[in-house]
Structure 1
Amino acid sequence: MSKGGLAATAITLALIAAPVSAQQRKPPYYASIAASEARMRTGPGRNYPVNWVYVRADLPIRVIDIYRDWRKVESADGTSGWMQVGLLSDRRTGIVQGGITELRESADAGARVAWRVAPGVVGRIIGCARGWCRIDIKGRGGYIEQARLWGVAPDEDVD
């Protein structure tokens, strides 16, 4: 095999192994759906029936159990089932819950409102501390009260 072929093989193996190694934490923990289509199954194997199909990448999920390369996950609405680890990402995301929520320019309830988001909007979590999270929603950033997001624990700091 040529040097280029070996390098390509090494890169491919690293990319395949990255999601698996990244998902070896002790549950429960938050992650997100990496695939644009992800099947949730009733058990940890392809022989189990599909009970839900997610067609929206970046949705936050909570990993609640591990069995080999399968993760038992729970979504924001409480639906639970099993997904293959390769369908998941360590990328932290959150889904806005409750009513229309204000994103602020800084992590302060008195800060200027940058814009408003509706329930169900998903954003990438940049970081969380002291009850506020900085999120990015399609290139627009702001700070949101941590309690308004599902995908991060109430007292969790995210770097």
Structure 2
Amino acid sequence: MKRIALSIGLVLALFAGAVSAGQDRGSVTKLPLPRFVSMKASEGNVRRGPSLSHRIDWVYKRRDMPLQITAEHGHWRRVQDRDGAGGWVHYSLLSGVRTVIVEKDLLALHIRPTMDSPETARLAMGVIARLGECQPQWCRLTAGGYKGWARKEALWGVKPGELRE
């Protein structure tokens, strides 16, 4: 009996570790939660709940704005913006194309992912950039016709340990 109790305890501990390690999946898409997406539409209603009958709390009015999906229900996704505000948005208004918001004024874009490489441009705070490859501390961005590498900690829309090819 002790052996069974220990086995069940071990299984529960492993399951709890998997959930706390960020292994949550959406009930609809089975994709990881939370995850980043962007606004496909230039305008999108943010509702209090996951249906058209729920009240509109506000309207996002910025195409390509990065958002974080925190829950799924049918065709609806609960999203959160960089300020922590959020609500329910219809999935058709969202895109899997990854973007980030620059959170540091005059963020330097570098030719290579090193501080001593030449700069290609500087981005103002609030600029939305297309996200490319990400290394442990750097991400490749495209914005306003400019391309380059920026420090990850100056961006919202990418996880600190996230790697992308």
TM-score using structure 2 length: 0.80
Equivalences for 1:1-159 in 2 at 5 Å?
24-159=30-165
Q: For the residues of structure 2 that align with 1:24 and 1:59, how far apart are their CA atoms?
A: 23
Unaligned runs of at least 5 residues, structure 2: 1-28
Q: Percent identity?
A: 34
- Aligned partner of 1:8 in structure 2 is none
Q: For the residues of structure 2 that align with 1:133 and 1:44, how far apart are their CA atoms?
A: 33
Alignment coverage as a number of residue pairs:
137
- Aligned partner of 2:23 in structure 1 is none
Give the superposition deviation at 1:139. Answer: 2.2
TM-score using structure 1 length: 0.82
Larger-Rg structure: 2
Return the structure number with greater relative CO, CA threshold 8 A, min gap 6.
Answer: 1
2:51 touches 2:76 (CA, 8 Å); kept in 1?
A: yes
Q: Deviations over 1:20-76 (max 9, x none)?
A: xxx651310000010011111111111111112111110000000011110000001
Deviant stretches of 4+, over 3 Å:
none
